[in-house]
Homo-oligomer: A and B are copies of this chain.
């Protein structure tokens, strides 16, 4: 074996030093020794950083990351079911997750690593970090934790003494028209959403966190996603249309306070700065869509495909004029188009912050739900719809109820998975995500 003791491996050190791994290690003890206080003060480079590998997002703060953070190019989202009946186990897990997430987002390993290669004591136990993202850099990683209804009550049982603290806004989602939900891709007691500018960095974070849940919680579902957009432009989803044009602007705090951030309420005084997150796995029959006339696709969306402009307008960010009529007196933007049905003017002013990703999980045999009812091997691909909002009862639920009934797009989409979570505010250094719920 080697005679020297290389310093501890770390993500940032490998990156800075470039090709020479040994030299890199030498500079990097520092990255791992970073204190939590230092992490809290780390400069918040934007995800628009010139080098997306080097982007760093803050972990501690009034809000969790990954909600109004400029959207990174990859995600891995997962839900776990709690198997323990001990409240202290849940708190310990959240403390561990918080500590690890603070390290990971700043470019560190999930947990402190023993010194590297060679026959020392660290070799006789599993490494605290799988090592697959060594050298890859922080990549703008954010990690967002949420709680499903099952944390508060499950099968009528108040497992952790939290039943009375369930916020009224954390409702169970109703069944929506067209739902073909698969139980194994639906629900969950705990939510982890990792977003990063690299697929492996996002997956790595969830994988290292869920490892620490053994004996306390088990994996319920996991899901990788990606988002490809030309820099500075609204990205296109797999249907080829720009997705997110009409989001409330994250640059306007008053809109975020109105539509995204929850306030402290009598039933959830700990929720100031939190949010509610809905995650839906929506398969799209891309084979069917691709063979649909361009003009019909535009009617479905209510937007022009290439410019992203509302039908009848020229530019993407032109206001959606729902009152415009053609020469026969029919609406220019169809009544059952996606953009009209989801517009705030059709929903009593309600808005939600969509932060969705595409997914692409190979192929399966499907029987299409709409004509031409083909039966064939098709893509298992579509949208991981993710929406954040201050209250789902006035946000996603009424908006989606209308869409599920009337949206022409439903001919091409099938909701397969669904979940709702309460996302607590960000943690303070030394504390943990969800402390307000458990400690108050």
Q: Which A residues are closer than 8 A to B by beta carbons?
A: 1-2, 4, 6, 9, 14-15, 18-19, 21-22, 25, 76, 78, 114, 116-119, 122-127, 130-137, 184-185, 198-201, 203, 207, 211, 214, 218-224, 226, 228-233, 236-241, 286-287, 289-295, 297-298, 304-309, 311-316, 358-365, 376-379, 381
Interface centre among A18, A136, A290, A359, by most chain B C-beta atoms within 10 angstroms, is A290
Contact A22 B307 (CB under 8 A): yes
Contact A233 B305 (CB under 8 A): no
Contact B314 A134 (CB under 8 A): no
Residues of chain B contacted by A125 (CB below 8 angstroms)? 293-294
This protein's copies in its complex: 2
Q: Known interface pairs A207-B286, A230-B15. Does A132 touch B236 (Cβ–Cβ under 8 Å)?
A: yes
Contact B21 A233 (CB under 8 A): yes
Contact B293 A239 (CB under 8 A): no
Query: Whole-angstrom distance between the alpha carbons of A25 and B233 in the complex?
Result: 14
Contact A22 B123 (CB under 8 A): no
Residues of chain B contacted by A200 (CB below 8 angstroms)? 226, 228, 238, 358
Residues of chain B contacted by A287 (CB below 8 angstroms)? 211
Minimal Cβ-Cβ distance residue in B for A201: B228
- Mind listing 15 A-B residue pairs with CB under 8 Å? A4-B314, A21-B316, A116-B307, A117-B298, A117-B309, A124-B294, A130-B286, A134-B236, A199-B226, A203-B238, A211-B287, A211-B291, A221-B363, A223-B362, A224-B360
CB-CB nearest 5 A-B residue pairs: A123-B295, A131-B240, A117-B304, A200-B228, A135-B230
Contact B290 A228 (CB under 8 A): no
A115 → chain B closest CB, angstroms:
10
Residues of chain B contacted by A304 (CB below 8 angstroms)? 2, 116-118
Residues of chain B contacted by A233 (CB below 8 angstroms)? 14, 18-19, 21, 135
Minimal Cβ-Cβ distance residue in B for A131: B240
Residues of chain B contacted by A381 (CB below 8 angstroms)? 203
Given A21-B306, A123-B293, A135-B230, 20 more pairs with CB closer than 8 A = A2-B304, A21-B233, A25-B306, A117-B298, A123-B298, A124-B295, A126-B293, A127-B294, A130-B290, A132-B228, A132-B238, A133-B236, A136-B229, A184-B377, A185-B362, A200-B228, A219-B363, A219-B376, A219-B377, A361-B361
A103 → chain B closest CB, angstroms:
17
Residues of chain B contacted by A316 (CB below 8 angstroms)? 21
Minimal Cβ-Cβ distance residue in B for A240: B131
Query: Whole-angstrom distance between the alpha carbons of A117 and B297 in the complex?
Result: 11
Residues of chain B contacted by A312 (CB below 8 angstroms)? 1-2
Contact A122 B294 (CB under 8 A): yes
Contact A377 B221 (CB under 8 A): yes
Contact A292 B226 (CB under 8 A): no
Interface centre among A15, A114, A118, A315, by most chain B C-beta atoms within 10 angstroms, is A118
Residues of chain B contacted by A236 (CB below 8 angstroms)? 131-135
Minimal Cβ-Cβ distance residue in B for A139: B228
